[in-house]
């Protein structure tokens, strides 16, 4: 399976993504500079964390208007797995590939520590290797991770089982303790915690590697076993 790691000016978690896929997972990965991108030959797309365009205007706002997003929207509509982590999640929200918005953390402070999460939906292509309601530990590193949506959107997220991860102890004020959501089709996941930084036990947790394994196993079931 071949992953594209999209790099924007200001991305700083792209190497974390790359090595999680290449070294921990043993799959193919390429860095894809946003201006030179051709995503047609990739099986999954990863939007890493960082500070794309210096977080000017709003986190993810400028990156969401770049030309590569047209390709990402096309791939999303084609069912390609797309994972946005931290700033990548913010980009997906700004591009309206996922509903809602990010606000400053409730305490107006940057947070960087390990956080407990609950797997609320293990029936997605990103979470099938987890148990239902499994508790995992992933690191967070953000200043604007306070997920917000209106009441109608929140009810839709609940009704459609789009809330994938919630915090055990909400660190940032996110509505409903939300840490990660998927689109209605289930192939676009945005999350604030960093699974790529928990891909090996030496990092303090290897709970994140199951997310990448889920992507690969579901892809193989769909495209290899069915071939």
**Domains (range + CATH), the chain:** 2-224 (3.40.50.880)
Q: What is the mean pLDDT of the chain?
A: 95
pLDDT of residue 56: 87
Give dist(CA 106, CA 90) in Å, integer.
17
Q: State the pLDDT confidence band at 225, using cuts at 50, 70 and 90.
A: low
pLDDT of residue 223: 77
Cα-Cα-Cα-Cα dihedral sign, residues 170, 172, 174, 180: negative
Tell me the catalytic residues.
86, 194, 196
Contact 29, 5 (CB under 8 A): yes
Contact 48, 8 (CB under 8 A): no
Q: State the pLDDT confidence band at 12, using cuts at 50, 70 and 90.
A: very high
């Amino acid at each position: 399976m071949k992953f594209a790691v999209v790099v924007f000016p200001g991305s700083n978690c792209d190497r974390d993504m790359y090595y999680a896929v290449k070294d921990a997972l043993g799959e193919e990965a390429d860095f894809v500079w946003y201006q030179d991108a051709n995503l047609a030959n990739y099986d999954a797309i990863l939007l890493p964390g960082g500070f794309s365009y210096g977080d000017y205007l709003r986190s993810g706002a400028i990156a969401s208007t770049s030309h590569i997003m047209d390709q990402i929207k096309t791939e999303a509509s084609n069912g390609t797995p797309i994972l946005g982590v931290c700033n990548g999640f913010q980009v997906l929200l700004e591009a309206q590939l996922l509903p809602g918005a990010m606000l400053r953390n409730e305490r107006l402070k940057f947070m960087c520590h390990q956080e407990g999460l609950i797997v609320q939906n293990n029936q997605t292509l990103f979470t099938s290797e987890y148990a239902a309601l499994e508790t995992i530990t992933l690191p967070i590193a953000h200043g604007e991770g306070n997920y917000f949506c209106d009441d109608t959107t929140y009810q839709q997220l609940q009704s459609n089982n789009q809330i994938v991860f919630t915090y055990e102890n909400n660190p940032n004020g996110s509505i409903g303790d939300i840490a990660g959501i998927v689109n209605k089709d289930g192939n676009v996941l945005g999350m604030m915690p960093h699974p790529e930084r928990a891909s090996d036990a030496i990092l303090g947790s290897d709970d994140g590697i199951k997310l990448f394994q889920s992507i690969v196993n579901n892809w193989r079931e769909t495209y290899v076993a069915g071939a």
